[in-house]
Amino acid sequence: MMTHVPPFRLPSGGRLIDRAFQVPFRFDGRHLRGLTGDTLASALLANGQMLMGRSFKYHRPRGPLASGAEEPNALFGLGQGGRFEPNQRATTTALANGMVMRSQNCWPSLDADVGSVNNWLAPFLPAGFYYKTFIHPRPFWKHVFEPIIRRSAGLGRAPTDPDPDRYEQAYGFADTVVVGGGIAGLTAARDAADKGGTVLVLEQTANWGGRTPTDHDGGQAAIDALLADLRGRDNVTLRRNTMATGLYDHGYLIAREALADHDPNAGLPRQRLWRIRAGHVITATGALERPLSFACNDVPGVMLASAARDFIADYGVAPGRRIVVVTNNDDAYRTALTALAAGLEVPAIIDARPQATGDLPDAARQAGITVLTGSAIAKVKGTRHVESVVICDQSGDGKPTQTIECDAVAMSGGWSPVVHLWSHCGGKLIWDDAQAMFRPDADRPPLGADGTGNVTVVGSANGDLRCAGDLERTEGATEPVWVMPAKAPYKLRAKMWLDFQNDVKVTDVELAAREGYASVEHTKRYTTLGMATDQGKLSNINGLAVLSGALNQPIQATGTTTFRPPYTPLTLATIAAEAKGDAFQPLRKTPMHDWHEKHGASWEPVGHWRRAYAYLRGTEDRHAAVHREIMAVRNGVGTLDASTLGKIIVKGPDAGRFMDMLYTNMMSTLAVGKCRYGLMCSENGFLMDDGVVARLSDDTWLCHTTTGGADRIHGHMEDWLQCEWWDWKVYTANVTEEYAQIAVAGPKARELLDRLPGSIDFSQDALPFMTWAEGDIAGIPARVFRISFSGELSYEIAVPASRGPELWEQLHNSGHDLNITPYGTEAMHIMRAEKGFIMIGDETDGTVIPQDLGLDWAISKKKADYIGKRAQRRSHMTDGNRWKLVGLESLDDNVLPDGAYAVDEGVNANGQRRVQGRVTSSYQSPTLGKPIAMGLVRHGPARMGQVLDFPMPSGEVMQARIVDPVFFDKEGGRLNG
């Protein structure tokens, strides 16, 4: 195969690439080749593709600005189908075989983008344009402006298919976690390891060393020596490709490890989210170079000096053939020297400082490079790529002194320490005037649980740019340059980009300041400075320096915006990891679940439980099945799986006293062997749960709760026992899952149960309504409660959970001729409503007290106290105008909608129709052959027979008559039978 050398690949160099292995990929349909070790950005640059994106607002052509995570421009849609991902950074994504990438925010193509018309409109689209323009006429916002703006908003497209890759989460623990695998981090890791304790080192890229191997002779050797040392230690773990994205309370650190990005056949999860508890965190996160603000600093070919150096030294790629360097510090001279050594031209170094002395400037001059001090770039010429730069004096207003032809500009505005992790959890910053940077204030670190600092910061992350160990050196001072040239007129300032992705310019920030946005947080939101996917990594310091200038105050008085996690975006898939599909949350199944499944159960989620809503037979729909089940119970016998009902044991010498506090009724007087329906209120007086209580023995009560309430009510009991009445001798135990419970209901329930062998007498005399008995049924130990939620003769039978299916089968095998029918939760709901029984969550919603529901009979008048008693004495709870429970009967044959409001005369202060009641439960009753409903109505029980109006959303009005809420068997003959 012929070796194809792309036009901008240098003949030698590139410490991270392997020239032996070519990697084919596709970019906007074109077939290109890169090398193993390339990033997408270096591979595209090697192919001469400098144009990599369009800016968000003005659609200006953009090339890569950086070589790392701070890149604002070179974002692509990557992959296909379910693996498609928008906004992937070309500078941090490793090139993989056959990769398919697509440019974003342009149409019809990157080269010919119609949206770039916005660029010509730029003078009319300043900061706050949308706020000022689209406010009138009012109705236009919703119907015209918003839909248009929504269509043009957003960067990249969301994928439409499910992600086929696997993601996982893991917990990590270490005495010391070092974030950053450069020379400062590795040195700190070695020192921490020397002291003992476990050390975990996280490096965001695939390569150790940070900038040191690129920037310093002997740098790679120093890194290799440190790595060899660390690898030989048992207490040190090194993890590459792991980005620490956020630091939270008490040393909780989140990191994302890329295990098999773009390699679906590796047999590994694609990414792993680490949730790490760190005893101590050392941030060695380095520093980011700042752009300089000169006119047209966004033309493709203008990039950070460090990025230009990286592309040449790390990837053997020329960012241009003729590179002008512009700087306010010594470090950028390295780029000039690196470029020269790679055989590229460097026509000039433009240094804004009045003089440049020291080793690096001297070396540049000795190499024959022209150094223009006190100089500035007035303007970059070229639209789709750099053609030349116009030079001027830094101190002046941009009057040209000369023009230099070039095809790339390497700029450096100094360095900003990466202080994100330090700041996430409360670490404070100070402004370092000498170095023109915010750096961590060692006296005000993030604090751990013990109140002492739990984060330290080392190396350039701490503002120490001298490198470390034997490589330590000093350089000439950085001179802050926030606008270039210093007295640039408006016309130039309006072309100086601060935030490249969101198109925020120097003049936008100045405008915000003029309009009164003095707070940096407000300016950020008004101009969108730093709000793009790069979160202002390059723009923030320059932006707030310009704001400070406009407000005529020192930078420290302006301060920074808040640094919030994540440092770089996390995919939602990593955050969700395995918690999806069946593993999204635990599913609770009753012992009879499989039987229900086999017999046509149509499931209903109730909390984490699955309950059968109805059992469908043949082609039946849910409605028909529910109707059939109810008729079977009312005329024969049915079984309900009631295992999900909460079952809590309350036991001890003070259990009776405690029960009297928990329930509104008197439970201490309940005789052994008897059952009583009870209500539980919150301390605020509202009804929170109900259920039947059985007294099992002298010192033991069994409390049934609602299905959803079991855990909550058990927690409520424990709260009062542990925190208020801790001297009372009471134990509680939640035994909900210990028992399978089956309700056998219907006029033929006794006949069925009598057929099973056993020791329990089911007769009316032996086991009357609201009693319970213990014994065995068909050889299974059982407790039988004669209670009824259906209004029928009913027995609820509790057996050990493992014996539940056996009893269920026995019942069904014995009752064919009685038409025994399993019934689901909907049949249960309707039958209880026919009887006027309330349902927690239907008749109650957290604002309803038992007195509203006509349950005064269940509230003890004799007890001095119970939870909620004091609250129920407040004036608004004893108010006679409270809405009270009634039955509602439609005047036509239609079922009232659940939640419908009954209107009253007149309107309230807001001009809304007054209301006087609402529907809480509403069904078509198969038993009665007509619709029934319950509701809460003002003075309801005193208004029997009156008709209420229920307006529907359609404008039509439904009418219903107030009736008794008990629709069926008012005398209770059936359940007492």
Partner 1 sequence: MLTLTCPYCGISAEETELHPGGEAHLTRVGPGGSDEEFEDYLFARKNPKGVNFERWRHAYGCGKWFLAARCTATLQVFGTYKAQNAHPPAEIVEAIRQARPDWNPDWTTE
Residue whose pair of structure tokens reads 């090697």 in the numeric block: 46
* Helical residues (DSSP H) of 772-840, grouped into ranges: 804-814, 825-834
Interface with partner 1, residue 444, by CB under 8 A: no
Of 132, 157, 195, 277, the one binding partner 1 (CB under 8 A) is 277
Least gap, CB of 129 to partner 1 (angstroms) = 40
Site string (832-851) toward partner 1, x via CB under 8 A: --------------------
Interface with partner 1, residue 731, by CB under 8 A: no
- Give residues with Cβ within 8 angstroms of 519, minimum separation 6: none
Interface with partner 1, residue 20, by CB under 8 A: no
Residue whose pair of structure tokens reads 């036509």 in the numeric block: 892
Least gap, CB of 680 to partner 1 (angstroms) = 17
Give 685 or 746: the residue with its C-beta nearer to partner 1. 685
Ramachandran area for residue 832 (φ above 0: left; ψ -120 to 50: alpha; else beta) = alpha
Rounded Cα–Cα distance for residues 730 and 699 (Å):
9
Least gap, CB of 725 to partner 1 (angstroms) = 9
Single out the residue of 543, 487, 492, 539 nearest to residue 513, CA to CA: 543
- Give residues with Cβ within 8 angstroms of 956, minimum separation 6: none
Interface with partner 1, residue 870, by CB under 8 A: yes
> Which residues pair with residue 758 across a beta bridge?
777
Rounded Cα–Cα distance for residues 78 and 440 (Å):
36
Of 28, 191, 441, 683, the one binding partner 1 (CB under 8 A) is 683
- Give residues with Cβ within 8 angstroms of 340, minimum separation 6: 346, 367, 369
C-alpha dihedral over 836, 842, 847, 848, to 10 degrees?
A: 10
Q: Which one of 259-267, 444-452, 459-467, 596-604 is the stretch in contact with partner 1 (CB under 8 A)?
A: 444-452
The 3-state secondary structure of 858-888 reads HCCCCCCCCCCCCHHHCHHHHCCCCEEEEEE
Of 363, 447, 531, 573, the one binding partner 1 (CB under 8 A) is 447
Q: Which one of 370-378, 445-453, 559-567, 614-622 is the stretch in contact with partner 1 (CB under 8 A)?
A: 445-453
Give 112 or 449: the residue with its C-beta nearer to partner 1. 449
Least gap, CB of 432 to partner 1 (angstroms) = 25
Which tokens go with 942?
Answer: 């005193």
Give 160 or 722: the residue with its C-beta nearer to partner 1. 722
Rounded Cα–Cα distance for residues 318 and 308 (Å):
8
Residue whose pair of structure tokens reads 């680490």 in the numeric block: 274
Burial class (CB in 10 A: 0-12, 13-18, 19+), 431: middle
Give 234 or 727: the residue with its C-beta nearer to partner 1. 727
Residues in 66-125 that interact with partner 1 by CB under 8 A: none
- Give residues with Cβ within 8 angstroms of 557, minimum separation 6: 548
Least gap, CB of 453 to partner 1 (angstroms) = 11
- Give residues with Cβ within 8 angstroms of 907, minimum separation 6: 913, 914
- Rounded to an integer, what is the distance from CA 855 to the centroid of its chain? 43
> Which residues pair with residue 34 across a beta bridge?
23
Interface with partner 1, residue 719, by CB under 8 A: yes
Of 322, 869, 938, 939, the one binding partner 1 (CB under 8 A) is 869
Q: Which one of 330-338, 831-839, 861-869, 886-894 is the stretch in contact with partner 1 (CB under 8 A)?
A: 861-869
Rounded Cα–Cα distance for residues 617 and 598 (Å):
11
Of 169, 684, 959, 976, the one binding partner 1 (CB under 8 A) is 684
Least gap, CB of 497 to partner 1 (angstroms) = 38
Of 20, 112, 671, 864, the one binding partner 1 (CB under 8 A) is 864
Give 426 or 768: the residue with its C-beta nearer to partner 1. 426
Interface with partner 1, residue 434, by CB under 8 A: no
CB 881 within 8 A of CB 939: yes
Interface with partner 1, residue 449, by CB under 8 A: yes
- Element at 653 (helix H, strand E): none
Least gap, CB of 737 to partner 1 (angstroms) = 16
Parallel/antiparallel/unpaired status of strands 646-651 and 700-705: antiparallel
CB 907 within 8 A of CB 884: no
State in Å, rounded, how far the first CA of the chain is from the last one: 94
Least gap, CB of 645 to partner 1 (angstroms) = 21
CB 661 within 8 A of CB 866: yes
Rounded Cα–Cα distance for residues 622 and 629 (Å):
10
Give how many residues touch partner 1 by CB under 8 A. Answer: 26
Q: Which one of 717-725, 755-763, 768-776, 854-862 is the stretch in contact with partner 1 (CB under 8 A)?
A: 717-725
Interface with partner 1, residue 865, by CB under 8 A: yes
Site string (198-237) toward partner 1, x via CB under 8 A: ----------------------------------------
Give the Cβ contact number of residue 469 at 10 Å: 13
Q: Which one of 84-92, 258-266, 720-728, 961-969 is the stretch in contact with partner 1 (CB under 8 A)?
A: 720-728
Q: Which one of 14-22, 172-180, 200-208, 713-721 is the stretch in contact with partner 1 (CB under 8 A)?
A: 713-721
Give 426 or 554: the residue with its C-beta nearer to partner 1. 426
Rounded Cα–Cα distance for residues 325 and 332 (Å):
7
Interface with partner 1, residue 451, by CB under 8 A: yes
Give 200 or 222: the residue with its C-beta nearer to partner 1. 200
CB 493 within 8 A of CB 505: yes
Least gap, CB of 251 to partner 1 (angstroms) = 8
CB 501 within 8 A of CB 533: yes
Single out the residue of 40, 52, 157 nearest to residue 103, CA to CA: 52
Which tokens go with 785?
Answer: 């409660």
Interface with partner 1, residue 726, by CB under 8 A: yes
Of 162, 426, 779, 846, the one binding partner 1 (CB under 8 A) is 426
Interface with partner 1, residue 175, by CB under 8 A: no
Site string (369-408) toward partner 1, x via CB under 8 A: ----------------------------------------
Count of residues in the chain? 977
Interface with partner 1, residue 585, by CB under 8 A: no
Q: Which one of 308-316, 341-349, 573-581, 869-877 is the stretch in contact with partner 1 (CB under 8 A)?
A: 869-877
Q: Which one of 162-170, 721-729, 739-747, 925-933 is the stretch in contact with partner 1 (CB under 8 A)?
A: 721-729
Of 399, 466, 580, 874, the one binding partner 1 (CB under 8 A) is 874
Give 132 or 250: the residue with its C-beta nearer to partner 1. 250
Give the Cβ contact number of residue 955 at 10 Å: 6
Q: What are phi and psi of 93, to 5 degrees?
A: -95, 120
Interface with partner 1, residue 450, by CB under 8 A: yes
Site string (233-262) toward partner 1, x via CB under 8 A: ---------------xxx-x----------
- Give residues with Cβ within 8 angstroms of 119, minimum separation 6: 58, 59, 60
Interface with partner 1, residue 715, by CB under 8 A: yes
Rounded Cα–Cα distance for residues 417 and 383 (Å):
32
Interface with partner 1, residue 564, by CB under 8 A: no
Give 64 or 427: the residue with its C-beta nearer to partner 1. 427
Give 712 or 755: the residue with its C-beta nearer to partner 1. 712
Least gap, CB of 249 to partner 1 (angstroms) = 5
Rounded Cα–Cα distance for residues 809 and 74 (Å):
66
Residues that bind partner 1 (CB under 8 A): 248-250, 252, 277, 426, 447, 449-451, 683-684, 715, 718-719, 722-724, 726, 864-865, 869-871, 873-874
